[in-house]
Amino acid sequence: MTALQKISTDIWSMKYQFKDARGEPVDATVEETWDRVARTLADVEGDRAPYWARQFREALDDFRFLPAGRIVSGAGTGRNVTLFNCFVMGTIPDSLAGIFDMLKEAALTMQQGGGIGYDFSTIRPQGTLVAGVCADASGPLTFMDVWDAMCRTIMSAGTRRGAMMGVMRDHHPDILSFIDAKKDRTRLRMFNLSVLVSDALIEAVDADEDWPLHFNDTVHETIRARDLWNAIMEATYEYAEPGVIFIDRVNQLNNLSWLENIAATNPCGEQPLPPYGACLLGSLNLSRFVENPFSDTARLDIESMTACVATAVRMMDNVIDASHFPLEQQRAEARNKRRLGLGITGLGDALIMCGIRYGSEEAVRTVDHWLSRFTNEAYRTSALLAKEKGAFPLYDEDFYLEAPMVEALDREVFSLILAHGIRNSHLTSIAPTGTISLYANNTSGGIEPVFGYTFKRKVLQNDGSHVEEEIQDYAYMLFREKFGAGTELPDYFVTAEELRPDEHVAMQAAAQKWIDSSISKTINLPEDISFDDFKDVYRLAYDMGCKGCTTYRPNDNTGSVLSKTEGKPKSAPATEDGSCDVAHRPEELPGQTYKLRWPHSEHAIYVTINDIVEEREDAEGEIVQTRRPFEIFINSKNMEHYAWTVGLTRMISAVFRRGGDVEFVAEELQAVFDPQGGAFIDGRYAPSLLAVIGGVIERHLNAIRDGMEPVSIQSADRQKEASKATIEEITFRIREALCPKCHQPALVKLEGCNTCTSCGYSKCS
């Protein structure tokens, strides 16, 4: 096994190494982690457990098979966590009680570490009359805000970063608001968003027809179909969301189309699932099956790969019986259908090691060949498992054998299913595999191309110093080890930003042919691509047979996932990890004051954020200005607030003065939950006063990013002019708070008591 890069061992230590309640390691090495996982999943085999523990352990060796992170971190630890990655929750009822029942189920699922997906199309549109209460509905987006706040709260309790997918049907009356939701960068931060695009919309766009927006058969508005499609593309171009899910195709190609209707996916889109659907993930690392890399005889060892597929299918099937489930409905769904999501990772590296350029016609043919063998072996193994252990409980031969994927299998595999049934309703899915691929010595993720060959990061040491590390792509590292640092990279070394959109889509489509669920792939595009060259990407994905599509174009709105520093500010030199030395405070600073009124406090709270204006040299050698937060002051006449406002002022100001990316401050504050109840602010739910302060910081960061782009220095007085900027006071409008008993937004202050005008609940200060 090639020596691990330090980032891989760091990932293992942070995420996958089993440690006891005191933080002491139980797994001393990566190999002991593999032993734990193999032994635990083999226990399902009864008397044959020792044999299968050896087989499972061999599959895990050298990162050949990568079970998803939930499995690696949770199996054999005795913790009450789910080993499943993907859940789609139950259908949301169009009633307040039903909506909050679904919110509770979501919280329980996320608490155990599951990512969730929801179709919010079932909630009536904004402005619709709510019978019996003489009020207008607030619409699905406001309830998505509540989900978003819940996710932040769960994050604050110490679990991993929340992940949710929110989808909406293309005919919902609020679809345009949904499409534009991410234009407010403070909103729905915990969600990925996708539009459920129907075949009917595509046909209406082609025919330039009108498109009715309707709910429960009532048409609310009619718009031009092309206007709707253009709105999707324009939002995606500027904000990288929403993605699209071609929902009719998803249901038509579903192996269980006769049994279930799918309306949502897991957070990354690779698992379209029915209500309460659950699926686990795992990936074969193709880069570990390449023989004689970078030579004329380089090839993928198909025999070794398919042998590992067979072991992985059994191993993942055992996870279903070994896992906890947050909800009983999820357990029943998983065990009745026994869905698996076995996929691949390291495709980009494997192609490079075989001398094949990603996106080329040869690459498309190669992916088709590799994945046809991969999928046929997965189905063959599942049929033999059915012979040994029984088919999935809801298996029906008359319907299942007519599924398009099943009909496309080799005749020998089809005959095995005909004879024995099949253990798992679905077998294949391709996840993004971001963290586990980094853990596997920085192998390229999923079916993506390589993003870059080398990166540098600075790691904080225990003594406060920093050590610089270089991170290398796995294939690039092997190439350099074999040919030396001075050798020019061959043409088949290609990165994501060097590919045309159609090359990205062609690779996704080639893989989708052999994937019975779906694929998480992001079409990464250069910032300078024109809208005309971009606007047909989703349509191309539809025409080529994909089940969905997402894009990412780095710009001022989306930021950049991977970037390098062009220059350093003169007043506060940046370190390699993005932080900077504490800058000297000028006598005058520009700033803004925000006035907050919180329903649980008698006095207003004032938040003042002052900024520092710095100069740096850009790539062209021109001196430009940038502006960033330098200090914060939180003031209130309420003496009960004194201690925490002073403490918060000092801590946040210290973070601001160090520089670097400070958005995490806003995110952490917005995740804080107040057990006394939150409040609705400008129509959006805030779980606590601290969350509101976090929202102010986020709003301020966005304002200075939008309102003061780097500009050329025109005079020596610019700094002084900036320091005299007018202080702007912004007052938030506070609506009624949420009642802790009936959950209606109807809690008001009456004679010193918090009183609910809906159910009569009252609590006096």
Question: What are the b/e assignments for 114-144, b being 16+ CB within 10 Å?
Answer: bbbbbbbbbbbbbebeeeeeeeebbbbbbbb
Question: Which residues are CB-contacts of 125 (< 8 A; sequence separation ≥ 6)?
Answer: 137, 139, 140, 172, 173, 174, 215, 220
Catalytic residue IDs: 266, 268, 270
Residues shown for the chain: 765
CA contacts within 13 A on the Cβ side of 173: 19
Residue 148: how many other CB atoms lie within 10 Å = 22
What does R_g of the chain's alpha carbons equal in angstroms?
A: 27
Closest CA to 87 of 334, 381, 371, 386: 334
Distance CA 206, CA 715 (A): 54
Distance CA 555, CA 529 (A): 11
Distance CA 523, CA 534 (A): 11
Closest CA to 666 of 173, 89, 326, 185: 185
Q: At what angle do helices 49-60 and 302-322 cross, to 10 degrees?
A: 120
On whether the CB atoms of residues 107 and 79 are closer than 8 A, the answer is no
Q: Which two tokens stand for residue 426?
A: 């679905």
Distance CA 184, CA 142 (A): 14
CA contacts within 13 A on the Cβ side of 635: 8
On whether the CB atoms of residues 435 and 509 are closer than 8 A, the answer is no
Q: Which two tokens stand for residue 654?
A: 């210290």
Lateral strand order in the sheet of 605-617:
623-636, 605-617, 591-596, 729-731
Closest CA to 384 of 415, 337, 422: 422
Q: Give the sign of the dihedral formed by CA 616, CA 622, CA 623, CA 626.
A: negative
- Chain position carrying tokens 């679809």: 175
In 3-state terms, what secondary structure has residue 535? coil
Residue 20: how many other CB atoms lie within 10 Å = 9
Distance CA 669, CA 648 (A): 10
Closest CA to 246 of 549, 493, 487: 549
Q: Give the sign of the dihedral formed by CA 497, CA 502, CA 503, CA 506.
A: positive
Closest CA to 406 of 257, 549, 550: 257
| Residue 230, amino acid | N
With the CA atoms of 309, 310, 313 and 318 taken in that order, what torsion angle do they form, in degrees rounded to the nearest 10? Answer: -140
Closest CA to 63 of 91, 98, 90, 37: 37
Distance CA 168, CA 427 (A): 27
Sequential DSSP letters for 721-756:
HHHTPPPPEEEPPB-PBPPTTT--S-EEEETTEEEE
Strand segments, DSSP code E, in 198-339 are 210-215, 218-224, 243-246, 264-265, 272-273, 278-285, 290-291, 299-300
Q: Which two tokens stand for residue 346?
A: 């390291």
Closest CA to 284 of 375, 364, 346: 346
Residue 466: how many other CB atoms lie within 10 Å = 14
For the purposes of burial, counting CB atoms within 10 Å of the CB of 361, is it exposed (0-12), middle (13-18) or buried (19 or more)?
Answer: exposed
Question: What are the b/e assignments for 552-582, b being 16+ CB within 10 Å?
Answer: bbbeebbeeeeeeeebebebbebbeeebbee
